Chain A
Amino acid sequence: MRGKEIIFENVSVNFNEKEVLKDINLTIKQGEVIGIMGASGIGKTTFVKILLGLLKPTSGKVYGLENLQFSAVFQEDRLCENFDAITNVKMVLPSDITTDQVEKEFLKVLLTDYKGTSVSKLSGGMKRRVAIVRAVMAQSDVIILDEPLKGLDEALKEKVLSYLKESLSERTVILVTHDKAEIEALHAKLLYFS
């Protein structure tokens, strides 16, 4: 293993005797941008869960995870609904990050009118952008983006993609999507699950 690489060696995952992932052999290099595509239910989220340490492979080994810090935009927003947008981001950041800094990031994804209310009152698109800013601002070596642009309109998708492009340099990015345009926009290496 070299540097901060992640190595999948003959990784398979079975759920109730159903094979979800079979013999995955893959090396993800530091700073690499990988776009994962494939039909629904093919195992993309299972792959992501292994990366995040939320699931253990049935067989095979994954090397390099223990040395890495992760951040993620999950398929669901996974926000603490009773707290406001700023708190949701600051709760995963070091204490020296100021509210001003978070507000500036929100502006970059055109997020306004979020103050003084819990995120439960925000629209789906606004919540999604809070989740994206949270993952981007969190200190991490690897950022996982599981369908990050879900629920955003075309104009916002473009804005958020350019925000991601600007903010994710030097980090390893794993993007799961159904849209090839997103993979192209982030200049990601395509990994097709079939």
Chain B
Amino acid sequence: MKDLKKHVHKRWISLLAIALWLILWQVVSGVINSDILIASPIQVVTTLAHLIFEKSFWFSVASSFLKISLGFFLAVITGVLLSLGAYYSVFLKEFFTVAMRVIKSIPVASFVILALLWVRAANLSILISFLMVLPVIYTNVVKGVESTNQELLEMAGVFQMSGIRRLRYIYLPAVMPYFVSACSVGLGFCWKSGIAAEVIGLPKNSIGEQLYEAKLYLMTKEMFAWTVVIIGISVIFEKLILWLIKKLNYALTKEVLEK
């Protein structure tokens, strides 16, 4: 009960903070008073209300969403597989770690321009979101596997626990916090880099293309509205993925999750 009250209280404070920022935004846009430099929150909501009735809006949202999430899921699968390889082989660990360091230090813009030589603009956001998320997942899962309690592994060896049971009861609980945090960071990365790739590569029917066009014709309200859409999709996607991971973790381990 006390926890619930605390939770509700925290929610109210968050809502209040958001409301204050919106008021500040409205005031600043009123002071600047230029439709080209800044759009007000009310103008953004009105523009959004128009956009959602256009077919192209939903095409763009669906196309960007599918491609960027595909890049994310491919990165998760690859990152987990590579980290398992790294756990079992020192050579593979060094081999992959060098690659991940290189990927991490290359700026997104350089990657996008390079990648345009290798893939079609339509698939660019898949590759870029994949490359941006992969090192995050790999690094964190390796850390998680390495953090596995050695004493519990010894116990499992003594009691001759099967591989499946070791995975369920020892490895997964150790890796899961690292995996969840990697997914949370990776989801933010994949949206930022995916949209940046679309703005440079300009694939047809994409959020990036819409943003670029809005910028080209100085349609500031549309630019703000599309940015709000990106934030919205990114937040919903992150919540959905983290919820799915929690459910999957419970189904796999039946761990007693403290409320």
Q: Chain A residues in contact with chain B, CB under 8 A? A: 52-54, 69-72, 74, 76, 78, 80, 82-84, 87, 91-92, 116-118, 134, 138
Selected contact of A83 from candidates B151, B158, B161, B256, CB within 8 Å: B256
Please determine whether B256 and A80 come into contact, CB atoms closer than 8 angstroms: no
Please determine whether A92 and B159 come into contact, CB atoms closer than 8 angstroms: yes
Selected contact of A80 from candidates B157, B158, B169, CB within 8 Å: B169
Query: Given contacts A52-B158, A53-B157, A72-B158, is CB(A82)–CB(B151) below 8 Å?
Result: no
Residue B152, interface by CB 8 Å: yes
Please determine whether A118 and B170 come into contact, CB atoms closer than 8 angstroms: no
Please determine whether B256 and A74 come into contact, CB atoms closer than 8 angstroms: no
- Which chain B residues lie closer than 8 Å to A72 at the CB level? 155, 158-159
Please determine whether B152 and A80 come into contact, CB atoms closer than 8 angstroms: yes
Please determine whether B159 and A83 come into contact, CB atoms closer than 8 angstroms: no
Interface size class of B (residues with CB under 8 A): 10 to 19
Please report which residues of chain B, range 150-195, place their CB below 8 angstroms from some CB of chain A when the two chains form the complex.
151-152, 154-155, 157-161, 165, 168-170, 173
- Scoring B residues 215 to 259 as 1 if CB is less than 8 Å from chain A, else 0, what string do you get? 000000000000000000000000000000000000001111010
CB distance from B197 to the nearest CB of A (A): 39
List 29 contacting pairs A-B, 8 Å CB cutoff, sorted by A: A52-B154, A54-B154, A54-B157, A54-B158, A69-B160, A70-B158, A70-B159, A72-B159, A74-B155, A76-B151, A78-B152, A80-B152, A80-B169, A82-B173, A82-B255, A82-B256, A83-B169, A83-B254, A84-B256, A87-B254, A87-B256, A91-B161, A91-B165, A91-B168, A91-B169, A92-B159, A118-B255, A134-B159, A138-B159
**Residue on B nearest A121 in the bound complex, by CB:** B258
Q: Chain B residues in contact with chain A, CB under 8 A? A: 151-152, 154-155, 157-161, 165, 168-170, 173, 253-256, 258
Q: In the complex, A76→B173 CA distance in Å?
A: 19
- Which chain A residues lie closer than 8 Å to B158 at the CB level? 52-54, 70-72
CB distance from B132 to the nearest CB of A (A): 31
- Which chain B residues lie closer than 8 Å to A138 at the CB level? 159
Q: In the complex, A134→B161 CA distance in Å?
A: 13
Among all A-B residue pairs, the 9 with the closest Cβ atoms: A92-B159, A118-B256, A78-B155, A82-B255, A82-B173, A80-B169, A91-B169, A84-B256, A52-B158
Q: In the complex, A92→B152 CA distance in Å?
A: 12
- Which chain B residues lie closer than 8 Å to A54 at the CB level? 154, 157-158
Q: In the complex, A83→B170 CA distance in Å?
A: 10
Please determine whether B256 and A117 come into contact, CB atoms closer than 8 angstroms: yes
- Counting chain A CB atoms within 10 Å of each CB, the highest count among B154, B158, B161, B168 belongs to B158
**Residue on A nearest B255 in the bound complex, by CB:** A82
